[in-house]
Amino acid sequence: MQLYNTLSRRLEPFAPAGPVMTMYVCGVTPYDTTHLGHARCYVVYDLLQRYVRYCGHDVRYVQNVTDVDDDLLRKAQEVGQPYDEVARVNLEILRHDMEALNVLPPAVWPRATQEVPTMLEIASALVARGQAYERGGNVYFRAAAAPDFGALSRRTPEEMIARLREERFDPDDPRKENPLDILMWQAAAPGEPTWQSPWGPGRPGWHIECTAMALRHLGPTIDVHGGGEDLIFSHHESGRAQAEAYTGVRPFVRFWVYAGTVYAGREKMSKSLRNLVLVRELLPRYSGDAIRLYLAREHYRAHLTYDEAGLAEAAALVERLRAAAALAAPGEGPAPADAVAAVPASDDFRARFEAAMDADLDTPAAVEVLRDLAAAVEADPRGPAAVGRAALLNELASVLGLRLLGQTGVVWPE
């Protein structure tokens, strides 16, 4: 299998480093509900996880929840509710949406607020080594402690400083030795949740949260680290620098894999622009399979512009695939595995599907294989190969997370 590695900017042969593939994906900051950009991101890594499992590997997948953060605290203040209640309500919606989209739940779904001791342990070690420093109750990681800081994003220092301003991180903070130094711990502010630390009460910075959760639950080197491409800088650049400085192990991540941005018209779909297409508003009109197929028809690295007509086309294709796969439904005749084994040797559907998925997760080509399989069933529905082809269609569709025969869905943890 070839996967595009953002660190090297090229396709590289991919296989897990050990018997279990380890994958960490940045999850939500739950100050709002699931929009199509979130859905695309989590469906992308679900597709990767499912295909790796199909290839015979176990997967340990961790997806965090950033349940203490500037955005969440601002939203809680706006609506006049406790920040943890805002998070609880939006996480419940996310769970429902992910179950409807048949996204496999992570093996670990850690909350940042439950992982503060690990964050303090890392920050304390970096301060003790001189790789971080304290000023006025804040703790900063020295960007200079990472000799290749910027290698992931390939931005110049000037570009990185400009991006920090866009993200509302303060490169002009007078307590910083260097504008690029990373805020790991911030001193207590009125009305904010706090934890005790060696530097006084405060709360963690954003980047140290994911560094700590990834290291604790997956170890010093991870096979795949993912998220939306907008996280490359500053979040993942900073997390990478902190992790490698703390452990002394390189690389922290073998493959940095990113989902492309979702647009509404010419603008990025985002909460701040209020141009969201919410999954919970689509689900009454479209099945989870239809939404998944719509997302899978675009390559995961490409930008996707939301198109209702395209979603309707995906819904129609799902119904066509379901009708063809129904020939393999349980009942009289051979078991699905035996039926698949009876598919003519001249059929190349499985080989084409695997070749597509091996080519940097080319799900658009994989979807075309499903379409061709359905066409083959439709062309000879009573022929000797029909049931086998229908069973193969259902099997390969399940690798894309589709439930053509109404299979039991997933259940996410509370």
pLDDT of residue 402: 98
Q: Which domains does the chain have, with CATH numbers?
A: 17-264 (3.40.50.620), 310-399 (1.20.120.640)
Closest C-alpha to 183, from 223, 226, 231, 242: 242
pLDDT of residue 268: 87
Closest C-alpha to 177, from 209, 141, 148: 141
**Tell me: the pLDDT tens digits for 282-299?**
999 999 999 999 999 999
pLDDT of residue 228: 95
Left if phi > 0, otherwise alpha if psi is -120 to 50, otherwise beta: which for 276? Answer: beta
pLDDT above 90 covers what percent of the chain? 88
pLDDT of residue 409: 87
pLDDT of residue 33: 86
Tokens matching residue 288: 């989870």
Distance, in Å, from the CA atom of 257 to the CA atom of 228, rounded to the nearest integer, reads 9
CA angle 328, 332, 336 (to 5 degrees): 35
pLDDT of residue 335: 65
Residues of the chain predicted below pLDDT 70: 330-336, 345
Neighbours of 29 (CB within 10 A): 21
Left if phi > 0, otherwise alpha if psi is -120 to 50, otherwise beta: which for 370? Answer: alpha
Evaluated on CA atoms 398, 402, 406, 408, the torsion sign reads positive
pLDDT of residue 347: 86
> Average model confidence (pLDDT) for the chain?
95
Distance, in Å, from the CA atom of 67 to the CA atom of 87, rounded to the nearest integer, reads 6
Contact predicate 224/259, CB 8 Å: no
b/e per residue 193-214 (b: at least 16 CB within 10 A): bebebebeebbbbbbbbbbbbb
pLDDT of residue 330: 60
pLDDT of residue 334: 62
